[in-house]
Every structure is written in structure tokens, then in C-alpha cells.
Chain A
């Protein structure tokens, strides 16, 4: 990718970016505060952004707290990722009408509005790339994912702080972004004011930048931004050692640690709902009362459910142990054989949103180092 020049955008002008995108027909989605969490939703102006908010994240704990400053992106990640827009939780696949003994598929799909995602973290960019590999770069391509993600305008915002459950540094997915965006911003707040270091990652990103009032970035700006992102990396207290992790999990199918985690796991499926790379879905066929109109709907599903592995006669994975093991092994090991990379981007959501506080980084450590009794 050609080296693009960096600019500085005053924080007060971020609203102009939102306007410029809206003028080009994009529906702008960004972080907002709602229900005590950072939620990605429609933003009409900079006033909709979570200025002065940060998040405290620990296993089974998420809490928003007021900052002492007015950073607009001073949090890590919210419960849900951009997956709810690129891979919608509930979507109609198609509808059909009966025609005598046969049927006809109806062509009544409404075109989707183009969207802009403002505030995409490095881990989220990595997650989008992971889902791209699964849903549009394999044997078959998902047209719904293509429709929702395909033209999305991505404004990445690099993390300058890490939350307690973040471990993207050890997964090699952040906090520095490395591609896949139209624009990248790094928020700076210091003696030289509240501003963003901005760079384009694509032609249309560069085009939008020209519409904004910016000044060229100085070397000090660049160094300040780099230092902030490095600080976010160093701040991370959690990590996964991914050396030989595929073999580690494949060869420890009967490790007693699985029984240990099974005694804590509620199989509630929260982790799969908040995980930005989990992609499993199920389908449901419905008709209207007259039976002449049928629809097929697709919705998120989770390998933690009892019926996920059901074939006639019963489910293959009935125990919580088998289901937790399936999820973790798939995420960290099988994914590599299937798609050439890990399925985990180190965002830490599964740790934060697990009601039992199960920590995937700890589970890996326990299997790698732990004693035969399953204890670390």
C-alpha cells in the first residue's frame, strides 16, 4: 500500500467528517452510550459520541466510568462488534410463493444503504478480515455478508488505552492497525490540543480527507501517536502464547482442564454472541397461515446450544465439557487449518461478558502448563 501522508484534524472538526460521509449517502454508525455500555449505533453528529467515557473490563465485569478528560474514543470496545451490521443477527434469506404444485422464489430484496463504520478498533479490523476469509473468500460466498460489509466505509480509530481484558498485542492483531480501512485516526490530547492524527487507507478515504480542514502532521504528532498506541500495547495484562497452539489443543482433547472449565461454564452462549468472529447461524422456514407464502430466515446460532450438533438419534456434543472444548478448540486451533489464521483477535469480549468470568487466556495457560488434575 502506498505510503499516504498524515494529517491533523482538530477534534472539533470530527463532526465535519460525519457530515461529509452523510452527504455522500453513507449511514454513519459509531460508538454511543446506551444502557450503560458503548453501543455502535447511528451517529448524526460528534455530540452522539461517548466523549469523556471509558470502560472498565474484567472477567464478568463491564462498567462505564467518567473520564477526567473529554476524549471521544477513550474506551476499548463495547459488548457487540461490527458483526451485528456485517453479519446481521436476524435476516431473511428469501421468500417464495406457491404456484400450483410448485413455487417461485420472489425477487423483492430491498437494496441496503451504504454504511460508514466510525471507530473501528484494530482487533475489529482483524475480525472483519477473519470473517471476510470465512464468508467471502472460501468455496462459497455469502451474498448477504457481501451486501452489508462490501461497500462499508471504514474509519479505524487506534486504541490509546487498553481495557483489562484486552490481549490483541499477543494475538498480533493490534493495537496498531495495519490495513483494511479507508481512514485511520489516532486521538491525541495534550499541550498541542485535542486533535486526531489522520491518514487515508484508500482512494475514497483520501477523497473524504480533502473535504476536511486539516493541516499536515508534524514529526512530533506522529511520535506522540505512536507512543500512545505503544502504551496501549504495554498496558495489556493478558496474553495468549500462541506457539504451537494448534497442536497443543488437538493433542489435549482429554485434558482434565476441560472438566474444570465445564464445572464453571453455563453454556449461556454469551461468548459466541459478543465474539466478533463467531459466524455460526441457523435457518428457520416459516409460512403464513394460508400456507401459500414461505420465507427462510437466518439467525445467529451458537455451538453452545444442546441442539447445535443434533442428528437423528441425539446430539453429538451433549456435555458442557464437549461444547466448551469445541468452541475454544475451533476458535484457537481448527480455525487455523480451516482458514489459515487464528479465529481469535484478542478483543477480550468473551472474558468480560462471561457471567462465570471464564478467561480464555487462562484456560490456554492451564492446558499448556497445568498439572494433570486440571488446576493451573
Chain B
């Protein structure tokens, strides 16, 4: 049975972190579950947690009038859900809903924010990693926008 520390320490996202930082993260972490079909986070709500997905698929969605929710991307095992906890106004911009039963590790963003403000070295390490995720997601999103499979220009 893996410990929280083991999971976090071995996760590629946190690779290279000082042991003290890892311990800090562990102290902010907990195991969580979501049933398929439920919402993990909702647009407009306060963003104080982020998740490391361990099982199941999560759909990031936009709600639009007169339409069913539009899925803009899905995140699976090993991926990080949520970055709005890092920046003002600390509010979710999208819905995230569990496509399958989800097991995840929830990390206390509020607690981490405070610690990052106090310890800039930790702050830099966290921001570096989230910047990388945003870069990857932005690149993928741009590609998605191109509608390359569409029927001609």
C-alpha cells in the first residue's frame, strides 16, 4: 500500500524537489475520491485545491447557454487538475467533472500559497512546474483550435 509521500515523491511532476519541500507537500495532501458523474470543481467557485489524478478520467468543461456542457479536454491518470489556485482571483474558470470513478490526491492550495509567499524558493519550484503544464496545454489547445480534420478551409 503506497504512502502519500511515496506517491508524491515519485510523481514526475514533483521530481527534483528538495526533500523538505516534498514533506511540506505531503503535509498538505490527502486521498480523495469522486463518483463518476459528479463535479470535482465548478467555474466560479473558490480555487483552493489541486489534484493529482490516480485513477479515472476527468473532463474539463465549459457551460454555454442552450447547449449541453462542452468538453474542451480530458485529463487522465498521472495528470494535474487545476492551476487557478495559484493566481488571483483564485477562482475556477472551468468545470471539471468525473467521467469515471476518480481516485486522486488533493493538495491544499491555500496552505501551499501561504508557504510559497513565505518561501520564494518553494514558490519558484512550484511555479516552474505549473508553467510547464500550461505551456503543454496551451500548445495542445492551439492545435485543437486549428480543426485540422475539418473539411477544408
Give residues in A with beta carbon < 8 Å to B: 312-314
Contacts and interface: CB of A to CB of B under 8 A. Distances in A.
Contacts of B152: 312-314
Q: Which 4 A/B pairs are nearest by Cβ-Cβ distance?
A: A313-B152, A313-B153, A312-B152, A314-B153
Chain B interface secondary structure, helix, strand, loop or mixed?
loop
5 contacts: A312-B152, A313-B152, A313-B153, A314-B152, A314-B153
Interface string B131-153: 00000000000000000000011
Contacts, number: 5
Nearest to A311: B152
Interface in B17-43: none
Interface residues of B, number: 2
Contacts of B153: 313-314
A314 B153 CA distance: 8
Dominant SS among interface residues on chain A: loop
Contacts of A312: 152
Contacts of A314: 152-153
B48 to A, nearest CB: 46
Nearest to A312: B152
A312 B151 CA distance: 8
B148 to A, nearest CB: 10
A314 B152 CA distance: 8
A312 B153 CA distance: 9
A300 B153 CA distance: 29
Nearest to B150: A313
A307 to B, nearest CB: 15
Nearest to A314: B153
A149 B139 CA distance: 55
A312 B148 CA distance: 12
A366 B152 CA distance: 38
A323 to B, nearest CB: 19
Nearest to B148: A313
A254 B153 CA distance: 26
Contacts of A313: 152-153
